[in-house]
Amino acid sequence: MPAYWIDPIHDSRWNALVQNHPAATVFHTPGWLRALGHTYGFTPAVLTTSAPGQELANGIPFCRIESWLTGRRLVSLPFTDHCQPLADDPRDLHELLDFVLGILPSEKWKYIELRPLCGVSMPDGPARFKPSQSFCFHRLDLRSSLDELWKQLHKDCVQRKIRRAERDGLTEECGRSQPVLDKFYRLQLKSRRRQQLPPQPLSWFRNLAESLGETLTVRIASKDGRPVAGILTLRWKDRAIYKYGCSDERFSAHGGTQLLFWRMIQEAKSNGCVELDLGRTDVDNSGLIAFKDRWGATRTALTYLRYAESLSRDVRKWRNGIAAKVFAHLPDVPLSLAGRLLYRHLG
């Protein structure tokens, strides 16, 4: 069976498949792919068994990453927590994966990576995709009433914090305007320095807001006019997605982050959402795992799959070296510059 590459940004057949496929998420949409391309220079492409002119029966979105620093590779999808192949028939999936494995040597990709949310049937044989990275994945069932959702929140670490935020008069600002994005990014700088990481570039958040429109919301909590916490959320049909969070740790006692999460849940419920996707967490980040657990979310394993002709050093390991210590002490301007320079080589 032949396979075909299509342009998911300009080929309307891809958007039609995404809109109708039950496993599709906001991460499959042309808007998300457009933001990846505009920000990092990645080339998005979808592989399908459907011939030109035919309605798409399946598709796997990829980004071709061309980097002199980290090499050439094919990823589905960079900077995306999960991306399920939209191929219901295992035979179609096997045909598509056999195709990309067949052209891997000529394309000189270091590896091919898939990030499925659910288990997928993989081809047998010597050319096997193997587990590469594992994460914790949290999702919160929103079908209960708000009263029931409140009762399952951790009393000390969540309920008490929300009440403290309300008592202290924290205000909430929502939107995706440039002033809101600027406040969010300044908080990102503080959080990423604390985590010994550079922030993703401001252009990434601007491009997401432009490409996704009303799908995206930024929430800022302020104390006496000073931004103290922020979250960026997405929405896809009856699913809400928490994607990014940041805060000023000097004001953590006021419960700004907890207030924003509760407001996000309240709004998701009012919009008819049945689930909140809280995203992936590194398995060694016990603090963030505990934070998500305390909202009553269900925790499962999320495993990425990779095929590589030879083992290579994981590009994420740079964060444990000398560079991480440097990032922790950089002023805002050079820290922001480091993010602009580095992230196009990662993902």
Reported as a single tens digit per residue, the pLDDT across 313-337 is 554 555 556 567 788 878 888 889 8
Q: Is the pLDDT of residue 307 over 70?
A: yes
| Residue given tokens 């990092």 in the structure block | 40
C-alpha distances out from residue 94 to 18, 48, 82, 246, 261, Å: 20, 11, 19, 40, 40
What is the dihedral sign for C-alpha 44, 49, 53, 55? negative
In the DSSP assignment, the letter for residue 123 is P
Give domain limits for the chain: 4-128, 137-302
φ, ψ for residue 148, nearest 5 deg = -70, -40
In the DSSP assignment, the letter for residue 86 is B
Mean pLDDT over 157-167 rounds to 98
Q: How far apart are CA 248 and CA 257, in angstroms?
A: 10
Higher pLDDT, 319 or 137: 137
- Could you tell me the pLDDT band of residue 311, with boundaries at 50, 70 and 90? very low
Which residues are CB-contacts of 344 (< 8 A; sequence separation ≥ 6)? 39, 40, 41, 42, 67
The whole-number pLDDT of residue 310 equals 57
Q: What is the pLDDT of residues 222-240, one digit of tens each?
A: 999 999 999 999 999 999 9
Contact indicator for 34, 9 with CB cutoff of 8 Å: yes
Residues 6+ away with beta carbon under 8 Å from 256: 165, 170, 221, 222, 223, 228, 229, 247
List the Cα angle 100/58/92 in 5-degree steps: 55
Q: Are 281 and 290 within 8 A, CB to CB? A: no
pLDDT by residue (tens digit) across 27-78? 999 999 999 999 999 999 999 999 999 999 999 999 999 998 888 999 999 9
pLDDT of residue 122: 73
Mean pLDDT over 119-140 rounds to 83
Topology of the domain comprising 137-302: Aminopeptidase (3.40.630)
Instruction: Give whole-number Cα distances, 80 to 163, 238, 293, in Å.
Output: 33, 19, 21
**pLDDT tier for residue 81 given thresholds of 50, 70 and 90:** very high
**Arithmetic mean of pLDDT over the chain:** 93
297, 148, 155, 268: CA torsion to nearest 10: 60
Judge whether 223 and 257 are in contact, CB under 8 Å. Answer: no
CA of 309: how far to CAs of 53, 66, 111, 113, in Å? 35, 18, 7, 12
Structure tokens at 56: 């798409």
CATH 3.40.630.30 assigned to domain 4-128? The reply is yes
How many of the other CB atoms lie within 10 Å of CB of 320?
A: 10
Q: What is the dihedral of CA 264, 267, 269, 274, to 10 degrees?
A: -60
Q: What is the pLDDT of residues 199-224, one digit of tens each?
A: 999 999 999 999 999 999 999 999 99
Q: Give which of 272, 266, 292 is closest to 281, Cα–Cα.
A: 292
Strands (E), 224-271: 226-236, 239-247
Q: What is the pLDDT of residue 314?
A: 52
Handedness of CA 205, 206, 210, 215 (dihedral sign): positive
- Count how many residues are written for the chain: 347
Q: What is the pLDDT of residues 59-68, one digit of tens each?
A: 999 999 999 8
pLDDT score at 332? 87
pTM of the model: 0.94
The 10s digit of each residue's pLDDT in 15-31 is: 999 999 999 999 999 99
